[in-house]
Structures are given as structure tokens and as C-alpha cells.
């Protein structure tokens, strides 16, 4: 499902861009140029919403773009001109993004005795699934201690 939130983009003196999501606890990121700032905003948005969902926290409703208060995000010493500030709607499919970036599988090498490997292969054991289950169990047990 597509998630869309307003983000305030501030062009800095060095032509870097700062990005703030006012609806998401003033979540912020930046980029060395506008393109990188947009990419970082998508990553930041996806990671924040993903963690909210995983932890069972409520996901805030996005503010309509015409209701975003730029001044509420400004610091007293900010000296941005109107052309240095823009509001952009940033969107991401959190589930798809997580599959590609957060839940990506990593290869692990392990060593077991040959006799144990032979018996496990004969029994049709999926080593990857077995290791995942064992690690999840171990982590659950540690959390109880």
C-alpha cells in the first residue's frame, strides 16, 4: 500500500537539501543535491513507517499539503528565502521497499560435520529455514532473560 506524506525541502547555502517530515515527529534527512535528498527522503520515510508498524505504534495521518505549516518547522536563526523552501509529497510502498532493502537475505557460511550434513540432507532439512528458526528462538530466549 502506498504511503504519502508531505516533506519540507530546504535548500541550504552549499546547495545541499535538508528534508523534514512534520507529521512524523519532525523526522529529518538530507542530500547533497535535490535528487539525493528525494532518495534519502523515500528511504527515511520507509524506514520510519516500517519500524512503527513492526513495533505496533500508531501510524500518523498525513497532513494535506495545503495545511502544512512551514514556519512551524523553522528555527529562529533560519534565514531561508521563499525559493529555498518547498513542500513535496513523498511516497513509498513500505512493504515493497522493505522486501528490497530491509528484509533482504544475506548469505551465511557454516560448518557442520559431514555425517550430520548427510543425515540432514537425507531428511530433507532446509538449512536456511532451520538456521532462521534457531536464531529467532535464540533471540526470543535472550529477550526473556
pLDDT of 4 higher than 90: yes
| 45-104 tens-digit pLDDT | 999 999 999 899 999 999 999 999 887 776 666 777 778 899 999 999 999 998 888 877
With CA atoms as reference, report the closest residue to 92 among 12, 29, 15, 10: 29
The class level of CATH for 2-102 reads alpha beta
CA distances (Å), origin 32, targets 14, 25, 144: 9, 23, 43
Q: pLDDT of 11-51, one tens digit each?
A: 998 889 999 999 999 999 999 999 999 999 999 999 999 99
Amino acid at each position: 500500500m502506498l504511503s504519502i506524506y508531505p516533506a519540507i525541502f530546504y535548500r541550504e547555502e552549499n546547495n545541499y537539501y535538508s528534508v523534514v517530515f512534520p507529521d512524523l515527529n519532525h523526522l529529518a534527512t538530507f542530500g547533497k543535491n535535490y535528487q539525493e535528498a528525494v532518495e534519502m527522503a523515500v528511504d527515511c520515510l520507509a524506514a520510519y513507517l516500517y519500524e512503527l508498524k513492526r513495533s505496533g505504534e500508531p501510524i500518523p495521518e498525513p497532513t494535506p499539503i495545503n495545511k502544512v505549516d512551514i514556519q512551524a518547522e523553522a528555527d529562529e536563526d533560519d534565514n531561508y528565502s521563499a525559493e529555498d523552501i518547498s513542500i513535496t509529497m513523498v511516497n513509498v510502498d513500505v512493504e515493497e521497499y522493505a522486501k528490497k532493502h530491509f528484509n533482504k537475505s544475506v548469505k551465511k557460511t557454516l560448518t557442520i560435520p559431514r555425517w550430520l550434513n548427510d543425515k540432514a540432507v537425507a531428511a530433507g532439512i532446509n538449512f536456511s529455514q532451520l538456521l532462521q528458526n534457531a536464531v529467532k528462538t535464540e533471540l526470543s530466549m535472550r529477550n526473556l532473560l
